[in-house]
Copies of this chain bind each other. A is one copy, B any other.
Amino acid sequence: MDDATAARADALRAWFLGPRAENAALLERLVVESLRDHVFWRRNYHPEDGFTIREADKRREGYEDAVATLTQELLGLLAELKRDVPVFSGRYKGHMIAEQTIAAQVGWFATMLYNPNNIAMDISPVTTRLEMEVAAQLAGMIGYDPGTSWGHLTSGGTIANFEAFWLARGVRYLPVAAAGAATELGLSIPVTTADGSRAELSELPLWQLLNIPNRATLDLWDALWAAGPSPVVTRALGNHSLADIGYQEYSRRLAFEYGDPLPAGVVLVAATAHYSWEKIVRALGIGSNQLVHVPVDTRFRMDPDALWERVRELAGHRRAILACVSVCGSTEESAVDRLDQVLDVRARAERELGVTFHVHSDACYGGYAAAVTRAADGARRTAAEIRAGSGEAWPDEPWVAAIEALGGADSVSIDPHKLGYVPYSAGAVLVRDGRARHLVATDPPYLAPTGGEEPGLERFLGRYILEGSKPGAAAAAVWLSHKALPLDERGYGYLIERTAAGALRLQRALARADLAPFRVVLLPEPDINIVCYLLCHPMLASLASVNGFNERIYARMSLSRREDDPEYIITRTRLRSPMYDGAVDPLLAALGVCSPAEWKASGDEGLVVLRSTVMDPFLAAGPPGPDHVGGLIGALRRAAAAAL
């Protein structure tokens, strides 16, 4: 271990409260410091006002009763909380949740006392700045230009994905509205089509309007505003844009004006995409039938050849593609799509088919892993450099290529409250071309924007985002955590590399473990840090019996049975057809109780797999720390014996 790595290993021990609250004194000192600092601010603000609450008031019965009630109820809450999940412990290897950085905890608490609302700078002069700074840090990490991209925090991944999609729809459908407006205003506007040729906007057929690349669309947006006085353009655009006229009228017009009853636009998602995508397309009025699933390979990554086939088929049926959602860290397996290959497919589609679409990377879970690819000076690290630095076998070159491709996606969602180790809730959405935000802007009367004096500074964030009031405390928590743990090899890069190393250690120990009479079937080595596996036994000869057995193991290793305190805590998922078609074949072969055809026919039965998210950065470390790899495997053996 070189000096820099040793220093990081030491720093890691200061970043968290710790599994046994080893850093309790540090956290308490910082919390009390933050509280007293706030208290003295209040005390020194216009001291001439005198006191509203006087010492004598505190001796009155009503006051004392109120304090007694509050204290009693708080003690009750604290007692109740002991029934919560011990995610801080090395014994928790379940969902994607762990303890948070001390920086994030203190940053949140300190700022919550001020309670700024990042809807507008008026009521969050400090934390709106921090939010913009955090967004720029994340943008820089994934390879966006912080000067032209744009981003902000959301209440979580679903809202981040929703917004990315809402922006994408606005961009994808703008050329249709712009063509209508240009015709209405008699404007001549040249535009670049998917194959790179230039054409006159108002002369393009519907199919080509629906296939203008994002960048050209946003240039078109600028050209439109440059072409006429703003109220006139606003009115003309409003007469034609989906946001104003709504889907029902929009569909009617497409059929009427273009005589072209195109089928509804589709959304391509990896077969394993998060269920929230279904929520989102349902809510947006796109409809879940328009979700077209792209098969994943046996590493659970979107298959680029299958993607190309889907795009070609859809183009053949003249079905416009709104967007393709690629995943960076799937919630089940932490699989990282080969985004570089997805972007290649789009480039080929533009070239060969004149078809294009918005590419979104759902990096809610995996986004922070991009920090692994950044050196302290911001330069990219190669896969070989990363491996040499850590001495681990992870990551490989294609993984780094996939991560580097994030900078080429049109939008990316990243959750600080997942691999950012920040308390709930803090999600983030980033768009590559920040102009897109103007397409969804709405103005409230009481927070009229007064113009951004400083470039890149949003005086009124609420105009561009779905949410309204939002916690400045979340922005401060993320900001302080990024200060303590930079988004490179010194901070988050090291932290996440350690979790991947821990996952690899668990994976390989499971592969080697002698659990006779039980046998472990493992999913492939994870792209980041989620290990999936299942146990079988010669006596279990059917899919249903194997599933039932693994469900019973899960029940023994979860808090679902409150009477037993489980030794270790894991979770489970169920791989079903058609989402996992093909991807599960090697597992079924290793299991040997049913064919892929029988598994497909099983419907909702699917295949139960046990799942351990390794967000614990200490798992990979050797003694004198506890051996939770061996511990977990021992617990699995005992649970299996009891479950048989």
With known contacts A69-B483, A116-B84, A110–B77 Cβ distance under 8 A = yes
Q: How far is the CA of A574 from the CA of B167 in the complex (A)?
A: 29
Q: How far is the CA of A252 from the CA of B262 in the complex (A)?
A: 11
Number of copies: 2
**A113 interfacial contact with B, CB 8 Å:** yes
CB-defined contacts of A67 to chain B, threshold 8 Å: 14, 26
| Residue pair A473, B423 in contact (C-beta under 8 Å) | yes
Q: How far is the CA of A282 from the CA of B461 in the complex (A)?
A: 18
CB-defined contacts of A415 to chain B, threshold 8 Å: 469
- Which of A186-194, A270-278, A310-318, A345-353 makes up part of the contact surface? A270-278
With known contacts A13-B57, A42-B19, A115-B424, A34–B74 Cβ distance under 8 A = yes
Q: How far is the CA of A520 from the CA of B42 in the complex (A)?
A: 32
Contact with B along A93-116 (1 / 0, CB 8 A): 011010110110111111111111
Checking B7, B46, B122, B126 against A62 with a beta-carbon cut-off of 8 angstroms, the contacting residue is B7
CB-defined contacts of A99 to chain B, threshold 8 Å: 115
| Residue pair B282, A283 in contact (C-beta under 8 Å) | no
CB-defined contacts of A46 to chain B, threshold 8 Å: 89, 91
**A199 interfacial contact with B, CB 8 Å:** no
Smallest CB separation, A40 vs chain B (Å): 8
| Other A-B pairs beyond A41-B86, A247-B248, A445-B573, 18, CB < 8 Å | A10-B63, A14-B58, A19-B49, A20-B47, A23-B53, A24-B35, A42-B89, A45-B89, A46-B89, A54-B624, A70-B102, A70-B103, A159-B466, A245-B289, A247-B285, A250-B287, A332-B445, A424-B473
| Residue pair A442, B252 in contact (C-beta under 8 Å) | no
Which residues of chain A from 14 to 41 have any CB-CB distance to chain B below 8 Å in the complex? 14-15, 17-24, 26-28, 30-41
**A493 interfacial contact with B, CB 8 Å:** no
Q: How far is the CA of A49 from the CA of B289 in the complex (A)?
A: 51
CB-defined contacts of A205 to chain B, threshold 8 Å: none
| Residue pair B156, A469 in contact (C-beta under 8 Å) | yes
With known contacts A155-B425, A467-B156, A31–B30 Cβ distance under 8 A = no
Q: How far is the CA of A444 from the CA of B576 in the complex (A)?
A: 12
Smallest CB separation, A348 vs chain B (Å): 27
Q: How far is the CA of A445 from the CA of B300 in the complex (A)?
A: 15
Which residues of chain A from 426 to 466 have any CB-CB distance to chain B below 8 Å in the complex? 440, 442-446, 448, 450, 466
**A50 interfacial contact with B, CB 8 Å:** yes
| Residue pair A574, B155 in contact (C-beta under 8 Å) | no
Checking B33, B66, B440, B479 against A282 with a beta-carbon cut-off of 8 angstroms, the contacting residue is B440
**A625 interfacial contact with B, CB 8 Å:** yes
Q: Can you list 25 contacts pairing A with B, beta carbon distance less than 8 Å?
A: A7-B61, A7-B62, A13-B53, A14-B63, A20-B42, A20-B45, A20-B52, A21-B40, A26-B67, A70-B103, A77-B107, A95-B123, A97-B117, A108-B112, A112-B423, A162-B466, A246-B286, A249-B263, A276-B442, A283-B440, A332-B446, A417-B469, A423-B471, A424-B469, A445-B575
| Residue pair A62, B11 in contact (C-beta under 8 Å) | yes
CB-defined contacts of A282 to chain B, threshold 8 Å: 243-244, 440, 442
**Minimum-distance CB pairs A-B, first 6:** A246-B287, A10-B62, A285-B285, A247-B247, A155-B155, A7-B62
**A293 interfacial contact with B, CB 8 Å:** no
| Residue pair B86, A246 in contact (C-beta under 8 Å) | no
**Interface-central residue, A24, A90, A618, by most chain B CB under 10 Å:** A24
CB-defined contacts of A516 to chain B, threshold 8 Å: none
User: Interface residues of A toward B: which range?
Assistant: 35 or more
| Residue pair A110, B473 in contact (C-beta under 8 Å) | no
Checking B69, B112, B445 against A109 with a beta-carbon cut-off of 8 angstroms, the contacting residue is B112
CB-defined contacts of A264 to chain B, threshold 8 Å: 246-249
| Residue pair A66, B11 in contact (C-beta under 8 Å) | yes
| Residue pair A424, B246 in contact (C-beta under 8 Å) | no
**A578 interfacial contact with B, CB 8 Å:** no
Q: How far is the CA of A473 from the CA of B84 in the complex (A)?
A: 12
Smallest CB separation, A153 vs chain B (Å): 11
Smallest CB separation, A295 vs chain B (Å): 16
CB-defined contacts of A143 to chain B, threshold 8 Å: none
**A547 interfacial contact with B, CB 8 Å:** no
**A470 interfacial contact with B, CB 8 Å:** yes
| Residue pair B107, A483 in contact (C-beta under 8 Å) | no
Contact with B along A608-629 (1 / 0, CB 8 A): 0001000000100100111010
**A411 interfacial contact with B, CB 8 Å:** no
**A87 interfacial contact with B, CB 8 Å:** yes
Checking B85, B242, B479 against A285 with a beta-carbon cut-off of 8 angstroms, the contacting residue is B242
**A393 interfacial contact with B, CB 8 Å:** no
**A6 interfacial contact with B, CB 8 Å:** yes
Residue of B nearest to A283 (CB): B166
| Residue pair B124, A84 in contact (C-beta under 8 Å) | yes
Which residues of chain A from 56 to 92 have any CB-CB distance to chain B below 8 Å in the complex? 57-58, 60-67, 69-71, 73-74, 77-78, 80-91
| Residue pair A84, B125 in contact (C-beta under 8 Å) | yes
| Residue pair A471, B424 in contact (C-beta under 8 Å) | yes
